[in-house]
Structure 1
Amino acid sequence: MVPDFLLRLREHVGHGLLPLVGVTAVVLDDDGAVLLHRRSDDGRWATPGGILEPGEQPARAVVREVREETGVEVRVERLATVIAQEPYTYPNGDRVQFLDLAFRCRPIGGEPRVDGDESLEVAWFAPEEMPRMAERILERIRHAREREGAPYFPL
């Protein structure tokens, strides 16, 4: 779902390239399973996440996105990756480039559920049973699995 602030911004800049901040949650349970949702926009499995809204703190945004998309409440443990993604053009012609902040999170409540808007399915996956996903998502998961250390960022 496109946030209202972004729709208003698009009224002024049209399809021009917008730099945006995205937040991603890699939610790991005590057994190492990863919480994923199958996105309603493209039908692919992914980690929960979304766009940082004006005035919102990234860690609060990732908690909000996980709750909205999956029904699971999380606690942020640490920043896992900071990656500028390649520019992307949506089917309607809108161009964006995301600076993605991926956070390692732990579930603290709630039950996985489909939100009826952004998620078609929500499920926990053991590391050896994960569905096919984009390499950039798998990279976030790999770095989030590391218990400690500085966030990964490409040079």
Structure 2
Amino acid sequence: MPVPDFIVELRRHVGHGLLPLTGVTAVVLGDDDDVLLHQRPDDGRWCTPGGILEPGEQPAVTAVREVWEETGLTVEVERLTSVVAQEPYTYPNGDVVQMLDIAFRCRYVSGEPDVSGDETLDVRWFPVDGLPEMPRRILDRIAWAREDRTEPYFHLAASLP
């Protein structure tokens, strides 16, 4: 997966240290409540489309862009579904990040799956009861997007004294 230029530049200053970033996830639901997933080329795992918010870009625009880049499909954002700070993660090269993930429920508009780029090995629709093995955080995002609610999910911190 290509690293955005602004992160490469930041890494020149912070090295492998913890870098807080904003990630955007698109949970794309089909007509039969199927979920759109793509297979990552870096580890072969299936996941929802998503990526890093570029400087100056709006999160919903990022969601639509990432779906297009990773699947070749055009989607429309329906609503914000969750905002969650993930646990810090260390990449194999030693870079440490902590993502603030902003997830959106999206609906398919048009297009055919395209895996000709370098961000995806495969694109498929999966029934909710037949999802491949995925990390809990991705399964949670899918569950929150499928809920019939208007407000997004977020963790509530304990009240300060």
Q: TM-score, normalised by structure 2?
A: 0.94
CA distance in 2, matches of 1:147, 1:56: 28
Unaligned runs of 5+ in 1: none
Paired position in structure 2 for 1:106: 107
Paired position in structure 2 for 1:64: 65
Note the C-alpha offset of 1:38. 0.6
Moved over 4 A (4+): none
What is the number of equivalent residue pairs in this alignment? Answer: 155
CA distance in 2, matches of 1:91, 1:132: 21
CA distance in 2, matches of 1:114, 1:136: 24
Which amino acid in the other structure matches residue 122 of structure 1? V
Inter-CA distance 18–150: structure 2 relative to 1 (3 Å threshold): same
Paired position in structure 2 for 1:150: 151
Note the C-alpha offset of 1:149. 2.0
Note the C-alpha offset of 1:118. 1.2
Instruction: Show the 5 A alignment for 1:1-150.
Output: 1-150=2-151
Which segment drifts farther, 3-12 or 111-120?
111-120
Note the C-alpha offset of 1:25. 0.4
| Aligned-residue CA RMSD (Å) | 0.8
Note the C-alpha offset of 1:129. 1.5
Note the C-alpha offset of 1:109. 0.7
CA distance in 2, matches of 1:118, 1:110: 17
Inter-CA distance 148–115: structure 2 relative to 1 (3 Å threshold): farther
Which amino acid in the other structure matches residue 39 of structure 1? R
Note the C-alpha offset of 1:116. 2.9
Which amino acid in the other structure matches residue 45 of structure 1? W
Note the C-alpha offset of 1:54. 0.3
Unaligned runs of 5+ in 2: 157-161
Identical pairs, percent: 68
Note the C-alpha offset of 1:30. 1.2
CA distance in 1, matches of 2:116, 2:54: 20
Which segment drifts farther, 47-56 or 124-133?
124-133
Note the C-alpha offset of 1:113. 1.8
Note the C-alpha offset of 1:56. 0.3
Query: Highest CA radius of gyration, 1 or 2?
Result: 2
